[in-house]
Structure 1
Amino acid sequence: MKKKPSIFTYLFLICGCVLIIFPMYLAVITAFKPTEELTKSIFAFPSSFYLGNFMEVIEKSGFLNSVINTVFVTVVSCVGVILVVPLVSYAIARNMDKKRYYKYLYYFLLIGIFVPFQVKMMPLVQVMSNFNMLNVPGIAVVYIASAVCEGVFLYVAFIHGVPGELEESAYMDGAGTLFTYWKIIFPLLKPMTATVLIMDGLWFWNDFFLPLLALNKTPDNYTLTLFIYNFKSQTTVNYSLIFAGLLLAMLPIMVLYVFLQKQIMGGLVNGAVKG
């Protein structure tokens, strides 16, 4: 017989929900209030859904350009990750028990997971500067390289659960290694691919520190997080505009997460079971 959760468990969960929902509630209601109404009461629900704040943010110079830059960085980085990481992981997973080099490469990549960004940020920016990569395409390349370590860790565990007999049958029919990977193995990696895409997509879209270090000099290179950061410094008093900008920046990725959350959980569960 299962033991029922205690009242302390319910209280802990309720407190956790309040800590998560209450800031979101404040952000949403503040974004829909004109400045005059906000000064009267911060916590009260808005009398009407005022859209003027959103329109003012959208009409600000540089907003649409920052959206285009963010979409470009996110899409290009995600495509690069899906082209590179599963292929590298497949080579490691199928050869690490036969050749030491692949095992050492796997452990070397695992070490990268434990290196904090604060440790490598200055050398990274220096390298980007030397290669003239302090721009939007350059930061996309850096994101792809930065996603390799964690992506390989997840994919290798998942690929170990894929039977090797599938490839042997393909080889017997005359298929090459690359053809076998793209036509047989890669389609089987869809759950993990969805998980990696969404996890990395959230990171690429919402990242602030790397764009701040690499792109903050030129407004034409601003991503959404940089636009909100600089926009906030210009409108320190107008919290309605600030929160409207934050909601606009969060909205696309939140909608994507709502529609694809099943794939995230499915990929994590399958990866844990097969790994």
Structure 2
Amino acid sequence: MRINMKKTGKNLLVLLALLPGIILIIFPMYVTIVTAFKTPQESGSSFFALPSSFFLGNFISVINKSYYFRYILNTAVILLCSVIVELLIVPMAAYSIQRNNRKYYRFIYIFIVCGLFVPFQVRMVSLVQMMSQLHLMSKLGMVFLYLAATTPPGVFLITGYLKSVPEQIEEAAYMDGSSYGATYFKVVFPLLKPILSTLLIKDSLFIWNDFQLPLIILNGSTKSWTLQLFQYNFKSQYSFDYNLAFASFIMTMLPILILYILIQKNIVAGLSAGAVKG
């Protein structure tokens, strides 16, 4: 069997180039997992060594913390409400924009996409003032903020993806007597599954792991905290409980990891198709 030395050398160079990135990803994961299964005494004596036994006391302590399941419920409610409303409204907006050639639709598209270029730090102060005046420093306010944050990239990706969907399919539906709404929900919407799966995992990761917005909006009451604010509570003025924090990190990471595994087949297709330029 002949070996292509040129191709082998190229693959080796690619592997060497990727190796630092692989280490940067694997090493923090290793530290997180081994620390979560250690006692505080083991972490103090050897932080990077493997645990002598799989100690589950850290996970039990996290679960027994006050309001832990309330924090899970708060995070889940905010996530589900934000994502469900996004996946209903944003595709309809993108479809209307992409299938109309009128100038004001183009203006609306540019206006929405401009939101991608405004950093959160620029609008943070005015945003908090507005939410406070509207009495929306609550979980409902968080849903509105996440919808506002996810709409520009969602419209951008779905509009690009729709360019790969032939308009002849819709025209055939209209010829069969289908209405505009029925054509969208029965013909177009099912074809958006790859890009909607991409948005689902992308925005679920963002909302589930977000710390900054909950810290600003929900910090008034401990009962309104999300999981990220709960994890931040492991930090005191003079110390940080690494064992409990890392155990909590693993427990927080599992739901999103399971979601990613379930819909990963559609993510690459959705991103590549949604990146088509307008």
What TM-score, normalized by structure 2, do the two folds share? Answer: 0.92
CA distance in 1, matches of 2:48, 2:196: 41
| Residue 265 of structure 1, aligned match among 250, 268, 275 | 268
1:151 aligns with 2:192: no
User: What amino acid sits opposite 1:150 in the alignment?
Assistant: P
Is the 8 Å Cα contact of residues 211 and 226 (structure 1) preserved in structure 2?
yes
Counterpart residue number, 1:60: 65
1:216-243, CA deviations, whole angstroms, 9 ceiling, x for partnerless residues? 1111110000111123337934321121
Structure-2 change in CA distance of 1:237 and 1:230 (3 Å): closer
1:20 maps to 2:25: yes
Query: What residue is the counterpart of 1:223 in the other structure?
Result: 226
Q: Distance in 2 between matches of 1:72 and 1:91?
A: 29
Q: Find the counterpart in structure 2 of residue 34 from structure 1.
A: 39
Partner of 1:79: 84
8 Å contact kept, 2:234–2:244? no
Listed one character per residue, the Cα deviations across residues 61-119 of structure 1 (whole Å, up to 9, x for unaligned) are 02111100000011111101101100000000001x2x100001111111110111111
**Structure 1 residues not aligned, in runs of 5+:** none
Per-residue displacement from partner, 1:176-219 (whole Å, max 9, x unpaired)? 21111101110010000100111011111011111111001111
- 1:226-265 C-alpha deviation (Å, 9 max, x unpaired): 1111233379343211211222222211222233222211
Question: In structure 2, the residue corresponding to 1:252 is in which secondary structure?
Answer: helix
Q: Which amino acid in structure 1 is aligned with residue 92 of structure 2?
A: L
Distance 1:159 1:28, change over 3 A: same
Shift of 1:137: 1.8
Alignment-mate amino acid for residue 220 of structure 2: K
**Runs of 5+ in structure 2 lacking a partner?**
none
From 246, 254, 258, the equivalent of 1:255 is 258
Per mean C-alpha deviation after superposition, the further-off stretch among 23-32 and 255-264 is 255-264
Counterpart amino acid of 2:162?
Answer: I
In structure 2, the residue corresponding to 1:232 is in which secondary structure?
Answer: coil
- Aligned mates of 1:171, 1:260 — CA distance in 2: 32
**Aligned partners of 2:95 and 2:162 also within 8 Å:** yes
TM-score (norm 1): 0.93
Q: Which residue of 1 aligns with 2:53?
A: 48
Superposed, 1:138-177 pairs within 5 Å as 138-177=141-180
Per-residue CA deviations over 1:116-165 (Å, capped at 9, x if unaligned) read: 11111111111111211111122012211221100000000111221112
The question of whether the paired residues in 2 share the 8 Å contact of 1:158 and 1:274 is answered with no
Amino acid at match of 1:18: I
Aligned residue type for 1:35: P
User: Hey, what's the Cα distance between the residues in 2 that align with 1:188 and 1:11?
Assistant: 40
- Give RMSD over aligned pairs: 1.9
Matches of 2:208 and 2:238, distance apart in 1: 23
Mapped partners of 2:212, 2:241: distance in 1: 24
Letter in structure 2 aligned against 1:236: S
Find the aligned partners of 1:115 and 1:237 in 2 and give their Cα distance.
34
User: Equivalent residue for 1:128?
Assistant: 131
1:38 aligned partner, one-letter code = S
| 1:119 match | 122
